[in-house]
Amino acid sequence: MKNIKPFLKEAEKKTFDYEHRKRINHNISKYNENVPKGRLQFDDYELARDQAAYIKRKAVYNLEKYILEFELNFKKNGGEVLWAEDASEANDLITDILKKNDCKTVVKSKSMITEEIQLNPYLKKYGIEPIETDLGEYIVQLNDEPPYHIVTPAMHKSKEDVAELFHEKFATPLDYTPQQLTLEARKILRDKFIQADAGITGANFLVADSGAICLTENEGNARLSTSIPDIHIVVAGIERIIPSIHDLALFIPLLSTAGTGQHITTYNTLFFGPKRSDELDGPKKMYVVLLDNGRTNLLAAPEQKEALACIRCGACLNACPVYKNIGGHTYNTVYNGPIGAVITPFLKGFNEFVHLSYATTLCGSCTSVCPVKIPIDDFLLKNKHHYTEKYKTPWFEKFVWKNVSLFLTKRNLMNFGSVNLKNSLAAMALNKSWNKRKIPIKMAKKSFNQQWKEKFKH
């Protein structure tokens, strides 16, 4: 587990940063209050989850069929489809399009996948300026930090933090209200939309039977990013596929309800390729870059492949006691929280990221809120099992557990030696870990076995 030490260090730091914890819990609690209200829009929310789980599993188990159907139909609609095996191939394809079309400025709507491939630094290397247009994403871009949460990138910031940031960057007054700050960002971004040569977005859903791309958002920035510039590039993971346009009637409200409690996101757009001859607005050229980047590793995992059904609603992050303590940045991955802990080892390597699968209480809260019923806690266990099967467990760990198991299954070994001595050894062992942060453990003077015998006179 290559990265476990920095992870533990950062996790400890964040967990005992009470201000950070208070802010995150406050922000998440607002979503958690709204989600139950949002669910009431469904006659039967459990049935809606069952249907969504069934449709997404159908898509995962027939991924090749549906993704090829999407490609065929999107081409019929006049768009171009490009396939990228990994991040560098995707970045090359996107940069080539931009260079060929002489694009200097690009507006982007929030997309975790372009974070995944690290598109922004790549574009900058070629003199192309990428501008984030989602407000949360714009804030973290200004502060030069990665998104904190897959749905709300600036969840960790208070309004005072944002006012300070805007003051530093744009000399706005420190006492600006959230409304004034939003208007300031709006004013700056309006010009960027008008000047941009291309728009880059992700995709919430790729619709196989219509060759359409569905985007859901609350700010209208994705619409502006895709309707003003002449070029629209969509970057999408192959797992974004759904079989039919009819499925959107379920998925659009389900996605927003599970994530934020909204009945429906404010702007929901379907793109059927570039502007047609009889249309006034829209891009002249439209491309979809379909990305693998480790997704087929997950597809090949017989037990965990259903994690590809994730619709990135963020509900499992909001429900997770680990996420609520250590926060999003500690994971050091694009997809964080419980689902990130399941999929990242497949996307970026088990040796480098399986430690995230151990950062769990196994309480199952994530599974209970997932709108597509992914058994996340079970998959975390399966990742651990996969890791111990595939990679060699250190000899010392094996030795310790073998002896612990021997000791715990033999009564005479457990009773061997004085209770006082054993208590002192246990106290020494716990002193550095448990006792450092928690109320010191008080050892009983007699073992459980002795107390039992005395009580029942065996």
Site residues, ligand SF4 (CB under 6 A): 258, 310-316, 339, 369-372, 374, 376
Distance in Å, CB of 317 to ligand SF4, minimum: 7
Check: CB of residue 193 under 8 Å from CB of residue 107.
yes
Question: How far is Cα 235 from Cα 222, in angstroms, rounded to an integer?
Answer: 13
Q: How far is the CB of 282 from ligand SF4 (least distance, A)?
A: 30
Structure token pair of residue 199: 């728009």
| Closest approach of ligand SF4 to the CB of residue 131, in Å | 27
Backbone phi, then psi, for 352, in 5-degree steps? -85, -30
- When the beta carbons of 312 and 355 are compared against ligand SF4, the nearer one is 312
One-letter-per-residue 3-state SS of 87-148: HHHHHHHHHHHHHHCCCCEEEECCCHHHHHCCHHHHHHHCCCEEEECCHHHHHHHHCCCCCC
Specify whether the CB–CB gap between 83 and 64 falls below 8 A: no
Q: How far apart are CA 206 and CA 241, in angstroms?
A: 5
In the complex with ligand SF4, the residue whose CB is nearer, 208 or 258, is 258
> Within 10 Å of residue 348's Cβ, how many Cβ atoms?
17
Nearer to ligand SF4, 71 or 239 (CB): 239
Q: Least distance to ligand SF4 from the beta carbon of 441, Å? A: 35
Q: Closer to ligand SF4 at the Cβ: 106 or 374?
A: 374
* Shortest CB 449 distance to ligand SF4, Å: 44
Nearest residue (CB) to ligand SF4, 199 versus 202: 202
Q: Give the whole-angstrom CA distance, residue 98 versus residue 105.
A: 9
Closest CA to 192 of 138, 239, 152, 240: 138
Tell me how far, at minimum, the Cβ of 217 lies from ligand SF4, in Å.
17
Taking the least distance from each CB to ligand SF4, the nearer of 196 and 241 is 241
How far is residue 230's CA from residue 221's CA, in Å, rounded to a whole number? 16
Closer to ligand SF4 by CB, 189 or 320: give it: 320
Shortest distance in whole angstroms from residue 457 CB to ligand SF4: 54
